[in-house]
A and B are shown apart, each in its own frame.
Chain A
Amino acid sequence: MAERVIQVGDLRKSYGDVEAVKGISFEVARGEVFAMLGPNGAGKTTTTEILEGYRERSGGSVSVLGHDPAKRERALRQRVGIVLQSTGIDPFLTVTETIEMYAGYFPSRRPTAEVIDVVGLAEKKDTRVNKLSGGQQRRLDVAIALAGDPELLFLDEPTTGFDPSARRNAWEVVKNLVAIGKTVFLTTHFMDEAQYLADRVVVIADGLIVAEGPPSSIAGRDQMRTRIRFRLPEGTPVPGGDAQRLPDGSHEIDVDAATTTKVMHDLTGWALDNGITLESLEITQPTLEDVYLQLTGAEVGT
Chain B
Amino acid sequence: MNDLILTARQVRYTNTAFWRNPQAAFFTFAFPLMFLVIFTALLGGGTVTLDNGLAFNQSTYYVAGMSAFAIITACYTNLAISVTFQRDAGILKRMRGTPLPGYDYLSARVTHAILMALILVSLCSAFGAVFYDASIPTGTQLAEAIVVVLVGAGSFAALGLAITSVIPNAEAAPAVVNATILPLLFISGVFIPIGSNAPRWVDVVGRIFPVRHLVDAYLGAYYGPPNFDFSWRDVGVVALWGIAGLVFAARRFSWEPRR
> Are A and B associated in one complex?
yes
Q: Which residues of B contact A101 (CB under 8 A)?
A: 9-10, 13
Closest to B20 in A: A92
Q: Which residues of B contact A80 (CB under 8 A)?
A: 97
Whether A77 contacts B98 in the complex (CB less than 8 A), given A86-B90, A88-B89, A104-B9, comes out as: yes
Closest to A106 in B: B99
Q: Which residues of A contact B9 (CB under 8 A)?
A: 101, 104
* B98 close to A52 (CB less than 8 A): no
Least distance between B78 CB and chain A CB atoms (Å)? 14
Least distance between A94 CB and chain B CB atoms (Å)? 9
Closest to B14 in A: A90
Interface residues of A in 69-104 (CB under 8 A from B): 74, 77-78, 80, 82, 84, 86-93, 97, 101-102, 104
B42 located at the interface, meaning its Cβ lies under 8 Å from any Cβ of chain A in the complex: no
A270 located at the interface, meaning its Cβ lies under 8 Å from any Cβ of chain B in the complex: no
Least distance between B143 CB and chain A CB atoms (Å)? 36
User: How many A residues have CB within 8 A of the partner chain?
Assistant: 27
Interface residues of B in 1-48 (CB under 8 A from A): 1, 6, 9-10, 13, 16-18, 20-21
Closest to A141 in B: B94
Q: Which residues of A contact B92 (CB under 8 A)?
A: 88
* B100 close to A105 (CB less than 8 A): yes
Q: Which residues of B contact A106 (CB under 8 A)?
A: 98-99
Q: Which residues of A contact B20 (CB under 8 A)?
A: 92-93, 128
* B17 close to A87 (CB less than 8 A): no
* A54 close to B99 (CB less than 8 A): no
Q: Which residues of B contact A107 (CB under 8 A)?
A: 1, 99
Q: How far is the CA of A74 from the CA of B96 in the complex (A)?
A: 10
A144 located at the interface, meaning its Cβ lies under 8 Å from any Cβ of chain B in the complex: yes
Whether A88 contacts B21 in the complex (CB less than 8 A), given A105-B99, A105-B100, comes out as: no
Least distance between B255 CB and chain A CB atoms (Å)? 9
Whether A88 contacts B99 in the complex (CB less than 8 A), given A93-B16, A97-B13, A101-B13, comes out as: no
Interface residues of A in 257-277 (CB under 8 A from B): none
B91 located at the interface, meaning its Cβ lies under 8 Å from any Cβ of chain A in the complex: yes
Q: Which residues of A contact B207 (CB under 8 A)?
A: none
Q: Which residues of B contact A82 (CB under 8 A)?
A: 94, 97
* B99 close to A92 (CB less than 8 A): no
* B90 close to A87 (CB less than 8 A): yes
Least distance between A296 CB and chain B CB atoms (Å)? 26
* A88 close to B97 (CB less than 8 A): no
Q: How far is the CA of A93 from the CA of B256 in the complex (A)?
A: 21
Q: How far is the CA of A210 from the CA of B9 in the complex (A)?
A: 47
* A92 close to B6 (CB less than 8 A): no
Q: How far is the CA of A128 from the CA of B19 in the complex (A)?
A: 13
* A92 close to B89 (CB less than 8 A): no
Q: How far is the CA of A155 from the CA of B113 in the complex (A)?
A: 34
* A88 close to B91 (CB less than 8 A): yes
B168 located at the interface, meaning its Cβ lies under 8 Å from any Cβ of chain A in the complex: no
* A89 close to B99 (CB less than 8 A): no
Closest to B255 in A: A54
Closest to B1 in A: A107
Q: How far is the CA of A50 from the CA of B232 in the complex (A)?
A: 49
* B99 close to A84 (CB less than 8 A): no
- Residue-wise, chain B 241-258 has the 8 Å CB interface mask toward A (1 for contact) of 000000000000000100
Q: How far is the CA of A245 from the CA of B16 in the complex (A)?
A: 70
Q: How far is the CA of A92 from the CA of B22 in the complex (A)?
A: 10
Least distance between A257 CB and chain B CB atoms (Å)? 44
Q: Which residues of B contact A91 (CB under 8 A)?
A: 17, 21
Closest to A76 in B: B99
Whether A77 contacts B97 in the complex (CB less than 8 A), given A88-B89, A88-B90, A89-B91, comes out as: yes
* B98 close to A89 (CB less than 8 A): no
The 6 A-B pairs with the shortest beta carbon distances in the complex, nearest first, are: A88-B90, A92-B20, A88-B89, A92-B17, A82-B97, A105-B100
